[in-house]
Amino acid sequence: MKFITNLFSKKETTDDTAAVIGKGSVEEFVSLIRVYYQAVIAVQLGITNLNMLSDMALFKRMLKIPTQNNKLGVAEKSRSRKILMQDYGLGESFFKEIDASIKKNCRTPNDIKSYFIMYQGFNQDLFALLDTLMQWKFRISMLVKKLLYTQTQKTIHEILTRSEWKEESTQKVAWRIRTYSQKLGYSEQWMTDFVYNVVLLAKEDAKTQRKQNKD
C-alpha cells in the first residue's frame, strides 16, 4: 500500500509512462484525477500556456481534444470528468468539491505550487495512516467490495473525529489530515470515494501483476 503515496508526487507524465498505463488501473485513475485538477485550474485562472499543465497537455494530445471556445481546460475538464464518472462511478458532488477547493485555494498562478504541495501532503499522510489502521481489514474486505467501502468509510470517519489515539505518532498524523481536509475543503464522503477507488484498483493491479509473474 505504501507505493500508492508515490503516485501523487509525480511532477509530470511522459508519453512512455502513459503508454503503459492500462485502462482501469490505479495509475490511470490517479492520472485522470490530476488531469481534472489541472483543467479546473486552467479554467479558474485563465491559463493559456499548456506547458504549465503537463498531465492535461498529454491527455489533450493523446485524445486529440480540441480547445473549446478558445479557452484552455474547458473541454479537458468535461472529458476527464465523463471518463471518471463512467468508468469509476464517481458522482457530481465529487467534482464539485474539487472545483470549490481550487476556487478557495488557487486565486493566482502563484498559489498553484503551494496548493499541490498541500494536496500531496494530504494524500501521503492519509494513505500512510490508512495502511497502518486497516492492514488486516484490507485483506478481509477485499473479498467483498461493499465491505471494503464500509470499512474505508468507518476508518476515515474515525480519523476525522477521534480525539485521542493510543500512539502519539498516529494522533499527530490524524490531526494533520484533519487540518489538510479543512483547508482543502474535502468531506468524509469525498475522501471515502477517492480512497476506495485507489485501494480497490491497487489491489487489482497487484493481483494482475502476481498472475503475470507466474506465467
Of the ranges 21-35, 68-82, 143-157, which one carries the lowest mean pLDDT score?
21-35
List pLDDT tens digits, range 65-90.
999 989 999 999 999 999 999 999 99
Beta strands in 146-193 (DSSP E): none
The yes-or-no verdict on residue 9 having pLDDT over 90 is: no
Question: What number of helices (H) and strands (E) belong to the chain?
Answer: 10, 0
pTM to 2 decimal places: 0.85
The yes-or-no verdict on residue 193 having pLDDT over 90 is: yes
Residue spans of the domains in the chain: they are 2-214
| Number of neighbours of residue 61 by Cβ within 10 angstroms | 12
Query: Phi/psi of residue 68, each to 5°?
Result: -90, 130
Q: Which residues of 82-116 are buried (b: 16+ CB within 10 A; e: fewer)?
A: ebbeeebebeeebbebbbebbeebbeeeeebeebb
List pLDDT tens digits, range 114-144.
999 999 999 999 999 998 888 756 565 555 7
